[in-house]
Structure 1
Amino acid sequence: MQNVQFKNRDVVLAGHLYLPIGFDENQLYPAIITVHPGGGVKEQTAGTYAKLLADQGFITLAFDASYQGESGGEPHFLDEPMNRVADVYSAVDYLTTLHFVDAGRIGVLGICAGGGFAVKAASIDHRIKAVATASAVNVGSATRKGWEGKGSINDLLPILDALANQRTAEAKGAEVVYAPYVPPLGDTSAPRDLQVAADYYLTARAQHPNAQNRMLMNGLGAWVAFDAFDLVEQLLTQPILVIAGGKAGSLWHIQELYAKAQGQKELLIIGGAAHMDLYDGEHVGAALTQLASFFQGYL
């Protein structure tokens, strides 16, 4: 693994570039970008998959999103979806500059929110030749409808009022306010997936000092307006692999994405697995087997 840097416009992104066993810089390799979940960093599940896929013969790149982790960008902890999508474009840009990467064989894998961003990026940037997702989430839909897709758009109105008031306050010099990605440990009122997410991000299981479980509240308005799967029917012409746990509360995102995709598509539902089970642990093996076969076939 090598520490690398590349730019999304003026923001310097920090990445980890993984090389396959027996790497020969005089050969051309297919490459895969792994896109981390909301609030995550490259050292967590995105890095896990990047390392495993490198062991399967791919060049892989995991990186911290703009304004997050070790990457630059101020104000830090800003999380706006189209910034995340542009990060993927920039990762493709970077890979095309490496003489040992075959620029015609670049794929992307996104996990959770990263899955939505990967799909949106692939829909627009057709240098991406294959796209896969694990526990994909469309953060726009999740914001509008809630984690399990049962909420009403009317539930958003008080939130939008609060966002408006906060922006006005900050314009007049008030301190910025942060929102958490996952609930506190032990919050049994949260959806089960998010309770397990707290265990992943806030304990020794995967806790990292660069993943501080906070985002700028004044950026949440961009989530409301975003749709990761908009125009997938028309624009996503590349093959796609969609992987999810059969017990995931986020399963409705995966079902919507798979139904919309009109080209070559594969679906893997891992029985007994919940949303976070595809981040680490025993179910990652099943996901990896399918991912390796998919990317070997299309890249």
Structure 2
Amino acid sequence: MVDRERIGLQAVCGLSGMALTAAAADSRIKAVAAASMYDMSRSISRGHEDYYTREQRQKIVDYVSRQRWIDAKKGTFARGSHEVPFDENGDVAPTNRVLPKTLLEDADPITRIFFDYYRTERGYHPRSINSTTAWTATTPRSFFAFRQMTNLDMPAPRKALLVAGADAHSLHYSQDVQKLAPDAVGLLIVPGADHVDLYDRKDLIPFDRLDEFFTENLA
């Protein structure tokens, strides 16, 4: 029988931020373990490491708003990248960008690590938005409208464990969230691990610590 007052959640990447958000609004959730946590609302609405300017953010909102009308008129939806690129004039340059089939020699480090997962047998799937298709062009809308993890500092009997790679480009998301609620949120940094290593590298995933965490907080 499931104890409905002792719910535990475990999530990876973007779903981790959503699991933490759910826990802040549901006191039945007593423990959340998050690996390679991504704050999708922050990433999509502000860009990686918050590089979008206010003007760029407004341009994205304008583009997405227009695209909703276009999609409705056509009766279908356009594809796009979850991080909206800009052209040399600073205007939104929508694209159906997905990971390339062949990795270019000058590819940036983030593209390289995602290619190594989503474009290889490690994580490839023909229907995966990260492997072969793309996000919808209007995906950013909801992430501009709602910020995740805004109530983690509320007093509640919940605990969270964030597991992040020391070499992960996403590490700062876990570090910033841990600062929001240091008494309730623990941070475990795994040496030698990048962002995707904690998806499937069994030699790096700290299974013993995860077991200990859930045993202690769901007992």
TM-score calculated relative to the size of structure 1: 0.60
Larger relative strand fraction: 1
* TM-score normalised by structure 2 residue count: 0.80
Structure 1 residue 203 and structure 2 residue 104: aligned? Answer: no
How does 1:29-44 map onto structure 2 within 5 Å? none
- The answer to whether the aligner puts 1:112 opposite 2:13 as a matched pair is yes
Q: Distance in 1 between matches of 2:15 and 2:48?
A: 15
Matches within 5 A, 1:245-284: 245-284=165-204
**What does the per-residue CA deviation read over 1:120-143, in whole Å, with 9 as the maximum and x for residues that have no partner?**
000001111111111111111111
Q: Which amino acid aligns with 1:279?
A: Y
Q: CA deviation at 1:174?
A: 6.0
Contact 1:236 1:261 in 2 (8 A): no
State the match for 2:142 in structure 1. Answer: 222
Please tell me whether residue 295 in structure 1 is matched to residue 206 in structure 2: no
Provide the identity percentage. 31
Which blocks of at least 5 consecutive residues in structure 1 are unaligned? 1-99
Q: Secondary structure, in 3 states, of the residue corresponding to 2:164?
A: strand
Secondary structure, aligned partner of 1:294: helix
Residue by residue over 1:207-251, the C-alpha shift from the partner in whole angstroms, topping out at 9 and shown as x without a partner, is: 123424322212321122232221211266411111101111111
| CA shift digits 1:119-178 (9 cap, x unpaired) | 000000111111111111111111133223333333223322221221122232264201
Structure 2, unpaired ranges of 5+: 83-97
Range 132-141 or range 210-219, more displaced: 210-219
In structure 1, C-alpha distance between the alignment counterparts of 2:197 and 2:20, rounded to whole Å:
21
Q: Which moved more, 1:168-177 or 1:273-282?
A: 168-177
Contact 1:144 1:152 (C-alpha < 8 Å) held by counterparts: no
Question: Aligned partners of 2:46 and 2:14: how far apart in 1?
Answer: 15
SS, match of residue 74 in structure 2: coil
In structure 2, how many angstroms separate the alpha carbons of the residues matched to 1:250 and 1:189?
21
Structure 1 stretches of 4+ with a deviation exceeding 4 A read 187-191
Give the paired residue count: 199
Question: 1:189 offset after TM fit, Å?
Answer: 6.8
- Asked which structure has the greater RCO (Cα within 8 Å, sep 6+), the reply is 2
Q: In the superposition, relative to structure 1, how do residues 167 and 112 fare at CA in structure 2: closer, same or farther (>3 Å)?
A: same
Query: Alignment partner of 2:153: what SS?
Result: helix
Matches of 2:158 and 2:52 in 1, distance apart?
32
Q: Distance in 2 between matches of 1:257 and 1:144?
A: 17
Shift, 1:114, TM fit: 0.7
**Partner Cα separation in structure 1 for residue 67 and residue 43 of structure 2:** 22
Question: Whole-Å Cα distance in 2 between the matches of residues 152 and 250 of structure 1?
Answer: 20
Asked if structure 1 preserves the Cα contact closer than 8 Å seen for 2:77 and 2:136, the reply is yes
CA displacement at 1:291 relative to structure 2: 0.8
**What is residue 184 of structure 1 aligned with on the other side?**
100
